[in-house]
């Protein structure tokens, strides 16, 4: 039927509506592929989805992440989906906690070391929701290619990034004429998440007009 939104567009609209409506809660489940973890993960709410996209998956300073332990669930007084332990590239640990205000607890013991507690508010999630959803679609390309060998395209993509240093995605597509668009997008998204290139999705979703910039050093 003409004018009927597709399922992905309806999903994106629902998440945006969530953050336009203060105080509105839901319990949507999202099964997503994490490039950073190289595995499927289950997210228990729309706010968990936005948090994963904006604060974990696409933040190159984050080395990895995992759910909080049962002990921390009891200590912080949150559900197991209400907080996440993350490790920065410098090996520092943080616990991200969903809350609407400050908490008295500023550090906690995670079992593998002390971690700073950071409260992620609804306002922060709302501010990141639109760009986060653009990343959700972009990461979908990497998910579709998860079982494919991207080495050949990466072997040509990385030199192109180093030679041009910055530009539009369309420039990279011109440099890799032997690969289809979806494969180049998948390799570019993986490179961005692993910290070798900055991909700008602030104005629109991933497309030929999207801007990119080579990073000085690649995250390890």
Which domains are present in the chain?
A: 7-125 (no CATH), 145-214 (1.10.10.10)
The answer for residues whose C-beta is within 8 angstroms of residue 57's C-beta and 6 or more apart is 34, 35, 36, 135, 139, 193
Residues 205-215 have a mean pLDDT of 96
Q: What is the pLDDT of residues 73-117, one digit of tens each?
A: 888 888 767 789 999 999 999 999 987 766 677 899 988 899 999
Which residue bears the tokens 């992620």? Answer: 120
Token couple for 104: 């008295």
Determine what percent of the chain is predicted with pLDDT higher than 90.
69
| Span 135-149, average pLDDT | 96
- For 151-190, what is each residue's pLDDT tens digit? 999 999 999 999 999 999 999 999 999 999 999 999 999 9
From 201, 67, 1, 127, select the one nearest 193 (Cα to Cα): 201
Q: What is the pLDDT of residue 178?
A: 93
Among 62-66, 74-78, 115-119, 195-199, the minimum mean pLDDT is found in 74-78
Residue in 50, 44, 62 with CA at minimum distance from that of residue 130: 50
Which tens digit of pLDDT belongs to each residue from 16-62? 555 555 444 546 889 999 999 999 999 988 999 999 999 999 999 99
Chain-wide mean pLDDT for the chain?
86
Q: Tokens 């509506």 sit at which residue?
A: 17
Closest residue by Cα to residue 32 from 142, 112, 129: 142
Report the half-sphere exposure of 29 (CA within 13 A, side-chain side): 4
Task: Give the pLDDT of residue 187.
Answer: 97
Give the closest residue to 45 by CA, choosing from 80, 86, 10. Answer: 80
């Amino acid at each position: 039927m003409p004018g009927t939104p597709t399922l992905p567009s309806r999903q994106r609209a629902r998440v945006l509506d969530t953050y336009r409506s203060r105080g509105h809660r839901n319990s949507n489940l999202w099964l997503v592929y994490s490039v950073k973890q190289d595995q499927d993960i289950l997210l228990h709410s729309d706010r968990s989805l936005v948090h994963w996209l904006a604060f974990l998956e696409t933040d190159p300073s984050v080395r990895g992440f995992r759910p909080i332990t049962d002990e921390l669930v009891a200590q912080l007084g949150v559900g197991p989906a209400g907080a996440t332990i993350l490790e920065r590239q410098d090996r520092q640990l943080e616990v991200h906690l969903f809350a609407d205000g400050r908490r008295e607890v500023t550090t906690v013991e995670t079992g593998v070391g002390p971690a700073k507690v950071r409260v992620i508010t609804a306002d922060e999630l709302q501010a990141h929701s639109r760009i986060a959803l653009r990343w959700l679609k972009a990461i979908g390309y990497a998910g579709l290619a998860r079982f494919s060998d991207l080495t050949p395209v990466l072997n040509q993509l990385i030199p192109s990034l180093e030679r041009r240093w910055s530009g539009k995605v369309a420039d990279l597509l011109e440099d890799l004429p032997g690969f289809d668009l979806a494969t180049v997008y998948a390799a570019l998204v993986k490179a961005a998440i692993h910290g070798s290139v900055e991909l700008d999705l602030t104005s629109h979703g991933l497309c030929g007009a999207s801007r990119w910039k080579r990073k000085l050093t690649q995250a390890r």
